[in-house]
A and B are shown apart, each in its own frame.
Chain A
Amino acid sequence: MTEEKLALLSEISDVLKAVTSKDVELKPGMNIVNDLGLDSIAVMNFCMALEDKFDISIPLNDMASVVTVDDLADTITTLRSNA
Chain B
Amino acid sequence: MAILDKFSTLAARYDALKQSGSDPFSVKFDDIISSVEGVVNGKRTVLFGTNNYLGLTFDPVAMERSIEAIRQHGTGTTGSRIANGSYKGHEQLERELADFYGRKHCMVFSTGYQANLAMISTLVGKDDHLIIDADSHASIYDASRLGHAPVVRFRHNNPDDLAKRLARLKDVPGEKLIVAEGIYSMLGDTAPLKEFVDVKREFGAYLMVDEAHSMGVLGQRGRGLAEREGVEEDVDFVVGTFSKSLASVGGFCVSSIEGFDILRLAARPYMFTASLPPSIIASTISALETLRHEPQRRTKLRANSRRFYNGLKDAGFTVGPEANPIVAVILNDVAVATAFWKRLIDEGMYLNLALPPATPNSSAFLRSSVSAAHNDEHIDFAIELMTRVGREFGLIPDAEPDYSNVTQFPRVSAERPAARASIAPARRREADVGAGMA
Contact = CB atoms under 8 A, between A and B. Distances in A.
A57 B165 contact: yes
Given A55-B168, A57-B169, A60-B144, A41 B361 contact: yes
Interface stretch (B28-36, B145-153, B241-249): B145-153
B153 A48 contact: yes
Interface string B355-371: 01100111000000000
Contacts of B152: 57, 59-60
A39 interface: yes
Interface in A32-63: 39-41, 44, 48, 55-57, 59-62
Query: Counting chain A CB atoms within 10 Å of each CB, which of B153, B165, B169, B356 scores highest?
Result: B153
Nearest to B151: A60
A40 B145 CA distance: 16
Given A40-B357, A55-B168, A57-B169, A62 B134 contact: no
A7 interface: no
A61 B150 CA distance: 6
A52 to B, nearest CB: 8
A83 interface: yes
Contacts, number: 33
Given A41-B361, A62-B150, A57 B168 contact: yes
Interface residues of A, number: 13
Nearest to B362: A41
A44 B150 contact: no
B130 to A, nearest CB: 9
Contacts of A41: 356-357, 360-362
Classify the interface of chain B: helix, strand, loop or mixed. mixed
Query: Counting chain B CB atoms within 10 Å of each CB, which of A40, A55, A57 scores highest?
Result: A57
B155 interface: yes
B303 to A, nearest CB: 35
Interface residues of B, number: 16
B155 A48 contact: yes
B169 A39 contact: no
B153 A44 contact: yes
Given A39-B356, A39-B357, A60 B153 contact: yes
B357 A83 contact: no
Contacts of A60: 144-145, 150-153
Interface in B352-392: 356-357, 360-362
A60 B134 CA distance: 11
A83 B165 CA distance: 12
Contacts of B145: 60
A56 B361 CA distance: 23
Contacts of A44: 134, 153
Nearest to B359: A41
Contacts of B361: 41
Nearest to A56: B168
Interface string B156-182: 000000000100110000000000000
Contacts of B357: 39-41
Contacts of A57: 152, 165, 168-169
A39 B357 CA distance: 9
B362 A39 contact: yes
B356 A61 contact: no
A48 B134 CA distance: 10
Contacts of B168: 55-57, 83
B172 to A, nearest CB: 9
A23 to B, nearest CB: 20
B151 A59 contact: yes
A62 B151 CA distance: 9
A29 B81 CA distance: 51
7 contacts: A39-B357, A41-B362, A59-B150, A59-B152, A60-B145, A60-B152, A62-B150
Given A60-B145, A61-B151, A62-B150, 11 more contacts: A39-B357, A40-B357, A41-B356, A41-B362, A48-B134, A48-B153, A55-B168, A57-B168, A60-B150, A60-B151, A83-B168
